[in-house]
Amino acid sequence: MLEIKNICKTFHPGTINEKKALKGVNLTLEDGDFVTVIGGNGAGKSTLLNMVAGVHTADAGQILLDGIDVTHLSEHKRAKYLGRVFQDPMMGTAADMWIEENLALAARRGQRRTLRWAITKKEREEFREMLKPLGLGLENRLSTKVGLLSGGQRQALTLLMAAMKKPKLLLLDEHTAALDPKTAATVLELSDKFIEEGKLTAMMVTHNMKDAIAHGNRLIMMHEGQIILDIRGEEKKKLTVEELLEAFTKASGAEFANDRALLSK
Amino acid sequence: MQRRGRRNGAATVLLRGIRMDAFITSLPGAAAQGIIWGIMAIGVYITYKILDVADLTVDDSFGTGGAVMVVCMTSGMNIWLSMLVAFLAGCLAGLLTGILHTKFGIPAILAGILTQLALYSVNLRIMSGMANMPLSVMKYNLLLSLRKIPKSILVAGIFVVVLIALLYWFFGTELGHSLRATGCNQAMARANGINTERNKILGLILSNGIVALAGSLITQYQGFADINMGRGAIVIGLAAVIIGEVVFGKIFKNFALRLFGVVCGGVIYYVVITLVLSLGLNANDMKLFSALVVAVFLGIPYWKKQLQQKNLGRKGEANDAGN
């Protein structure tokens, strides 16, 4: 499904702020893989996701999605294949537009935008049905401005928008980090549900080790721009936070110095 | 004048009376001008409110519309065709700003200033080097004229209705929605497959086309095109947009009504201008006055927010103290 071949990225090359964010990352995801990505601050997790999404262009290497070379495809063209949820709940939706307008925008991801009406009657009913399972009562607020919703509601809506067109790959970039624990749990549950029901392939960046272990069928850990651990299948199911920390120390030769990850274990 | 000087008090009253009369007789003219500038303001609304870009191209694309109108008409072209060419010339100006902004990576404001500067020369070229070209209603069959103010108000009003109807339709389409999303949240737009660069160019084209159309209308109305006719157009446009929002924002929620509010804002602006002029403000100080009014109105939402935050902060402190 996704093939990342020797991807390198350096920010601000040749300056005092030079930062080698990715140092030759290789990763292959199979159809239906749900991989969680963990690592300390600056490990390159978000950069890796942004490379796949096309926010940054690669210095070297290749990215293939379902056999299609997307390495040099612009962000909006790649969007055809991708569903994305961001860390910032404000980022995934258009605040000044209605709930149904946002959904209609997402429903046309990957299509040419024509001079046809933006929302059809039939779609409106479909949106209502799609919103019901979120359990947030949004199905009765189709013409509410998204800016009036809470962070959790917006993130749930973004998730629905990202998943509704069945993307080849769903990218979740710490999408629960800005939410309170209860809302975060709800959104995570929804993510699981969407991925399972849609049989989606997904990558989820998280700071929370427990979440990284509890979700998905595969876990990768990044450190200083490289993948240092790749655990899957039965081995992942049995994994504990302690083992993960130990594995990290062994693989990187350093302590896992990240307050957020440690606090949230 | 001498007699007035002698009988001081009575003379002032008389003078005021004369000026009030002048104000009332100049009201229809102010309304006509306000409606036409309101059309220009709709163009500004598209960039400023929908695309979230302050586009300064309008200061001279307005004049481009006027210049093209005069040259086309005097060369014997049909009036509707002339206005279409004026509209398209404005579109080209918008295209240039759009390319400078998206393909040259120049900040939108600066891109607009560059186009505006370039257009000054272009407009002079269009008018064969003349700073001012007449378009007499006596010689040509114009849609609007100072000499026929009621008819002008009617014609301008019809233009407003048709334009708002067209824009209401356009911004209800898939493409129109993608334009709104581009102005609202670029990251979200791109994540949903929207080409934000192309949309910004498209918005600038549309906006400047409308502005140039308004320029062609004002040229007919006043009977000439002038190289400086658009000086400060962005400020007048912003004034109309802001006045429309402040006065009608609470009642006009629908998109079409909001555009209508912008046109009303233009009319209010011109009525107020006429009033302060009739109260004795020096016409030369007019631009200073306009800039001041717009600056204050732009500041109001910011001050409101600051005040709210201050109050919230105080509340927070009070709660902390309570705990």
Mean pLDDT along residues B63-68 = 98
| Residue B161 distance to chain A (closest CA, Å) | 20
Give chain B's contact residues with A (Cβ, < 8 Å): 170, 172-178, 180-181, 184-185, 187-196
Q: Average pLDDT of B206-227?
A: 97
Q: Could you tell me which chain A residue has the CA closest to the CA of B255?
A: A97
Distance CA(B308)–CA(B314), nearest Å, equals 10
Q: How far apart are CA A104 and CA A160, in angstroms?
A: 12
Set of chain B residues whose Cβ sits within 8 Å of the Cβ of A76: 189-190, 193-196
Judged against a pLDDT cut of 80, whether residue A264 lies above it is answered with no
Other Cβ atoms within 10 Å of A199 Cβ, number = 9
How far does A248 lie from chain B, in Å, by closest CA?
33
pLDDT score of B321 more than 50: no
Contacts of B195 in chain A (CB under 8 A): 74, 76
Please state which of the ranges A38-52, A144-158, B107-121, B175-189 shows the lowest mean pLDDT.
Answer: A38-52
**A114: chain B residues, CB-CB within 8 Å:** 173-175
Whether the CB-CB separation of B72 and B81 falls below 8 Å is answered with yes
* Residues of chain A above pLDDT 70, percent: 95
The bridge status of strand A34-39 relative to strand A202-205 is parallel
CA angle, A60 as apex, A55 and A62 as ends, to 5°?
A: 75
pLDDT digits (tens, 9 = 90+) for A161-198: 999 999 999 999 999 999 999 999 999 999 999 999 99
CB contacts, 8 Å: A107 with chain B? none
- pLDDT of residue B16 exceeding 90, the answer is no
Q: How far is CA A220 from CA A168, A189, A231, in A?
A: 20, 20, 6
| CATH class, A2-93+167-263 region | alpha beta
Point out the residue among B172, B185, B188 whose CB comes nearest to the CB of A118: B172
Question: How far A106 CA lies from chain B's nearest CA (Å)?
Answer: 6
Distance from CA of B183 to the nearest CA of A (A): 9
Sort strands A82-85 and A169-173 into parallel, antiparallel or unpaired: parallel
In sequence order, what are the residues at sequence separation of 6 or more whose Cβ sits closer than 8 angstroms to the Cβ of residue B301?
Answer: none
**Predicted local distance difference test score (pLDDT) of residue A256:** 62
- pLDDT tier for residue B3 given thresholds of 50, 70 and 90: very low
Give pLDDT, residue B323.
40
- For B174, the closest of A91, A94, A118 (CB atoms) is A118
Mean pLDDT, range B154-169, rounded to an integer: 98
Is the pLDDT confidence value at B11 over 60? no
Average pLDDT of A11-37?
A: 93
Helices (H), A36-142: 45-53, 75-78, 99-107, 121-131
What are the pLDDT digits (tens) for B242-273? Answer: 999 988 988 998 999 999 999 999 999 999 98
Q: What is the mean pLDDT of chain A?
A: 91
Q: Is residue B63 over pLDDT 90? A: yes
pLDDT over threshold 90, residue A113? yes
Say yes or no for a CB contact (<8 Å) between B188 and A91: yes
**For B170-192, what is the mean pLDDT?**
97
Q: What is the mean pLDDT of chain B?
A: 90
ipTM reported for the complex, 2 dp: 0.91
pLDDT at A197: 93
Contact list in A for residue B188 (CB cut-off 8 A) is 91-94
CB contact under 8 A, B195 and A84: no
Q: Which residues of B touch A101 (CB under 8 A)?
A: 177, 180
For residues A21-46, average pLDDT: 92
